[in-house]
Structure 1
């Protein structure tokens, strides 16, 4: 069974596993699986509905402008706001500040849409190094908010720690620790060791860098 999308963000912070359908195996092949971990690929969000909505909106806008331009060229009255807007767009020079501003906004929106189309999305899901055999690898993912809660609970057990804020990214894990007692440098070293151990236990596909900042509570 293949899960095309991850579970709901309101679910418990557990890992999401995608298991492809088993392929045909030879009768004489060995049934011993290969447990070497492999790097899970990033999840791509489904964009069929947003793409269809954007296409319909662009089609409606282009149709309205084309109708207005045809009506203006045909000599229709300009009492309608659409005809008035079309007349303004067709009569203003290219060097007009409003025309340049509209072109800049349209270019920015186009670049934004291209970036959204070419990037995977679903940044709250962290790819894990999951075990699996060579012909049928298994992809596993962990919610970043759930991973941050697990790391925060582990750091709260360090003596001297009063409050912890953890952010989990694809390339870096940041932790800000408020120290109630003990030397902040000793607490920072112990927090770094615990954080590195817990991150290794989670098994991310790419080992992130650890960044810890400590401050003493007054």
Structure 2
């Protein structure tokens, strides 16, 4: 007796034109696959304001090197001080460095240059650590729009600048392009060796505007386009 086969035609639970979902061998949850015959607009990510995917915030850096260095300094200093305090409690003399430091600190005055320099260095280090703690970091990584709550994506500034440069080079009349991609502004400087500069600038505004939209960034930067002529060659 042969097993009944799963119907492949359209039915009440399967609309016409859709592909059957792939089923794993263990009978678990079926794996959904995108229908490649659909138009590209069907996979256009939703805007950030829709709220379907959540807020697309900046990526936070783990900052392993500063955290490791600070942990090593604190661990070494605390361990050494704890050992010296335990030695004094055990009726042993304090370490030489501790006695020398106590003598020097007793002789130094608060208005001396060395004391002020050490205090300033400590303040700068503290401010630096506070800035690292309250800022996200990873400035070269631009967050992209989110169409899924559990999925986050980012685009490097250099990659975004390269995409915009390729788009600009496709404009007729453009000879060279330099793109600087920032978090809030994309600055484009182009050289046009023929055509009117206003026409080239208008085409660049249109092409780069579409390019910025297709990057899928959560907060697209403002576009600044400057077009000029290449420098004249000296004979």
Q: What TM-score results when the alignment is normalised by the length of structure 1?
A: 0.67
8 Å contact kept, 1:41–1:139: no
Task: Assess, with a 3 A threshold, how the Cα gap between structure 1 residues 114 and 44 changes in structure 2: closer, same or farther.
Answer: same
Residue 46 of structure 2 is matched in structure 1 by 36
8 Å contact kept, 2:190–2:228: yes
8 Å contact kept, 2:142–2:154: yes
Q: How does 1:93-112 map to 2 (within 5 A)?
A: 93-112=109-128
8 Å contact kept, 1:165–1:177: yes
Residue deviations 1:100-140, cap 9 Å, x none?
122112111111111111111122221111323xxx45322
CA–CA distance in 2 between the matches of 1:43 and 1:214?
34
8 Å contact kept, 1:43–1:120: yes
Paired residues, what number? 176
1:159 to 172, 178, 182: 172
Q: How does 1:40-55 map to 2 (within 5 A)?
A: 40-47=56-63, 50-55=66-71
Residue deviations 1:57-109, cap 9 Å, x none?
24435666896xx99xx99897x7x8656644442111112211221121111
CA–CA distance in 2 between the matches of 1:77 and 1:150?
62
Structure in which a larger fraction of residues adopt strand: 1
Structure 1: runs of 5+ lacking an equivalent = 1-34
Could you say which structure has the larger radius of gyration? Answer: 2
CA–CA distance in 1 between the matches of 2:182 and 2:121?
31
Task: Assess, with a 3 A threshold, how the Cα gap between structure 1 residues 76 and 49 changes in structure 2: closer, same or farther.
Answer: closer
RMSD: 3.2
CA–CA distance in 2 between the matches of 1:186 and 1:101?
59
